[in-house]
Amino acid sequence: MFLQQLVNGLTLGSVYALIALGYSMVYGILELINFAHGEIYMLGAYLGIICLGFFTAIGLTAYNLPLALILTFILSIIVCAAYGFTIEKIAYKPLRNAPRLSPLISAIGMSIFLQNYVMLTQGATDKVFPHFFGAAGVQFLSVRMTYLQIFIIFISIILMIGLRLFIRKTRMGKAMRAVAQDKTMASLVGINIDTVISLTFIIGSGLAAVAGLMVAMYYGLVNYFIGYIAGIKAFTAAVLGGIGSIRGAMFGGILLGLVESLGGSYISSEYKDAYAFILLIIVLIVKPGGLFGKAELEKV
Amino acid sequence: MSDPKPHVTGLKERLYKRAKPLIVALWLSLLFFPFKGLKAALTLFVVFSLILISSKYLFGFWKISIEWFNALREKMGAPGLFSGRIPIIVRQILLLFILGLPFLFGDYFIDVAVLVGIYIILALGLNVVVGFAGLLNLGFVAFYAIGAYTYALLNTKAGISFWPALPFSVGLATVAGFLLAVPALRLKGDYLAIVTLGFGEITRLILNNWDSMTRGPNGISGIAPPVIMSLSFGKLSHYYYLVLVFVILSLFINKRVYLSRIGRAWVAIREDEIAASVMGINTTMYKLYAFAFGAFWAGLAGALFAGKMQFVSPESFTFMESVLILCMVILGGLGSIAGVILGAFILVLLPEILREVQLYRMLALGAGLVLLMIFRPQGLFGGKGVSLRS
């Protein structure tokens, strides 16, 4: 029972971690809570259904399922990245030098807009994600791991390692770190801030799209308001680990997933959604910088 | 000899400039395409191109009209939009209109007016926190819920009527505001926002899940309306006057507090916390006051809401409600009491007017928030002195 919940929590947590990475990266660079990020995740789930519906209609899923799935992933990532890019250009870029409250409110507005945009175009009812993986899995002692769970954890780990390598090793990653440290200085040494910010949104949105798709596969149901609660939880995860820190986002996400699934099974499942907030409040009060974050010094 | 048009750009650049609206429209409709199909995307493309191409001229027109408006205002000697003194005759007519509203209109109008009144009280409360003290509270609806549920429970479970229950509603909300503020105020800006949001969600989850007490999502019905000396306020027109009295009371108190030492301390904290503390203001204490004082009004509004609807359920206290109240405060102009009233009016009346296109109203609210922040972040009424710090 305990181990089983551990596996479930790990699955959920790796998805939270993927979304949290987007929050953390954006916060690290713009110091903005990108409320619309959860909606990108929701868009990813919807795009998965739309793409798969299309591929089923043209007979690709029957002909070659893995190819269809890969294409679905790629298309969702591209479209979600495009959405992330556009949202930044429309809602945040004009407010880059505005007081802190303005972009936050703009982000909330964007989030409401996207939710209702999907509701109006796709309908308010639950959408069913086609079942491909089934319940098959491996049994290990008393723990059952479905192939889907293994797939989710595997993909998440690969993406996180990839992101870490990208940020640590590449030129663009270096530029991102520089911008996160000091925007003005970075632009003085010749880094194009706009490109870096756009790239941050594109990468974050791509990760959120993957997360959305995998959750849609896992639960089988998609609705237009899943983005809000998942977004809040992922943000919690990002704060837990120390916002702005990539490593923190990963650990925070997994920790949150574990707390939720263990708390849900041992304490009360009705308050499952509340654990995230309680955890968040405790962490912020005890260690405001998060687990991996540095305490911020205020410049006068 | 200077050329009147010094920057001679290449053909490519000029072409790009001309085609830019089309490219943007194409991009947006491409994004739209997977969600609604080709036909809708094409329609959107045409609409967007028309809007974007004409926006250049529209913006020109907008600028001209604003200049014209400013000139007119200067002629009249009023320093800001509506901030000059309204002519006495207009005020008297307005007053008569407000007092006589129940006699002039049917139940539907009074119903909306009562709702506007309740939202004005709520928004005034949030305005204290966000507008005066500059602390973003995204879980304000929790205090509203506490006020409403306290009255609902006291009335249905213990049979206590409105007036004895009111101090409990208001008091409990105030205490909750205090309790939330104690840990939350160690945090700054965005963190504070997210913790208050969490508080709001936790409150809603408790109301939703504590079946034995709150009857969960079914809500509590059969709440008695207030009574004064055997005069029941169950009738809408009576309730209207009750709410009106409370609105006037809250307006008066808010105005007085804003102009007092406490109000000045809040504004000082909003403008620069470090400077304020250097000047000897106990910032933590005053922030606590702001939270509790804001929650006080939310509790009052909650009790009035429960008395009016005679029914409460967790559905009325979602995050969206918090955002809506925040919108009222921001739309009118942060920190401006007149602006808050206007904001509450607009945001309650608009959905009523736009009943036919109700589906689109949240869409419009979201887009409106983004546009407002980009084009007029200080709100419709906002003065120059208010800065949006968090």
pLDDT digits (tens, 9 = 90+) for B265-277: 988 888 888 888 8
Q: Find chain A residues with C-beta within 8 A of B362's C-beta.
A: 112, 115-116
Query: How much is the pLDDT for B78?
Result: 43
Query: Considering the domain boundaries, does residue A272 fall inside one?
Result: no
Number of domains present in the structure of chain B: 2
Shortest distance, CA A212 to any CA of chain B (angstroms): 16
The Cα–Cα gap between A285 and A281 comes to: 6
Q: Provide the chain B residues 210-269 that lie in CB contact (below 8 A) with chain A.
A: none
Query: How much is the pLDDT for B121?
Result: 92
Residue range(s) defining the domain that contains residue B63:
11-76
Claim to verify: residue B103 and residue B71 sit in the same structural domain: no
- pLDDT for B71 beyond 80: no
Query: Considering the domain boundaries, does residue A273 fall inside one?
Result: no
Mutate to test the interface with A, among B315, B374, B388 (most CBs of A within 10 A): B374
Query: How much is the pLDDT for B106?
Result: 76
Mean pLDDT within B248-273: 87
Does A277 sit within 8 Å of B373, measured CB to CB? no
Q: Of residues A16 and B91, which shows the higher confidence score? A: A16
Single out the residue in B56, B76, B96 at which a domain terminates: B76
pLDDT tier, B190 (very low <50, low <70, confident <90, very high otherwise): confident
pLDDT tier, B87 (very low <50, low <70, confident <90, very high otherwise): low
Least CA distance to B364: which residue of chain A? A113
Query: Considering the domain boundaries, does residue A260 fall inside one?
Result: no
Query: How much is the pLDDT for A300?
Result: 47
Q: Find chain A residues with C-beta within 8 A of B36's C-beta.
A: 121
- pLDDT for B11 beyond 80: no
Query: Considering the domain boundaries, does residue A139 fall inside one?
Result: yes
Residue listed under structure tokens 């390692």:
A161
Number of domains present in the structure of chain A: 1
Mean pLDDT within B251-264: 88
Average pLDDT of chain B is 79
Query: Considering the domain boundaries, does residue B384 fall inside one?
Result: no
Query: How much is the pLDDT for A81?
Result: 92
Least CA distance to A296: which residue of chain B? B188
- Is B205 an 8 Å CB contact of chain A? yes
Lowest mean pLDDT segment, chosen from A66-70, B147-151, B171-175? A66-70
CATH number at residue B215: 1.10.3470
Query: Considering the domain boundaries, does residue B6 fall inside one?
Result: no
Buried/exposed B290-308: b ≥16 CB within 10 Å, e otherwise: bbbbbbbbbbbbbbbbbbb
Q: Of residues A161 and B354, which shows the higher confidence score? A: A161
Single out the residue in B20, B43, B76 at which a domain terminates: B76
Of B30, B205, B369, the CB nearest to A108: B369
Of B34, B197, B373, the CB nearest to A106: B373
Mean pLDDT within B346-350: 83
Query: Considering the domain boundaries, does residue A45 fall inside one?
Result: yes
Residues across chain A: 300
Claim to verify: residue B105 and residue B68 sit in the same structural domain: no
Query: Considering the domain boundaries, does residue A261 fall inside one?
Result: no
- The tens-digit pLDDT sequence of chain A (300 residues) is 778 888 888 888 898 998 998 888 888 888 888 888 989 999 999 988 888 888 888 877 777 888 888 888 999 999 999 999 999 988 888 888 877 778 888 888 899 889 888 888 888 788 888 777 666 777 777 777 788 888 888 999 999 899 989 988 999 888 988 888 888 888 899 888 889 999 999 999 999 999 999 888 888 888 888 888 888 888 888 888 887 778 888 888 888 888 888 888 887 777 777 888 888 888 877 777 777 766 555 444
A52: which residues sit within 8 A by CB, 6+ positions away?
A61, A68, A69, A72, A129, A130
Least CA distance to B361: which residue of chain A? A116
Claim to verify: residue B219 and residue B295 sit in the same structural domain: yes
Mean pLDDT within B175-186: 83
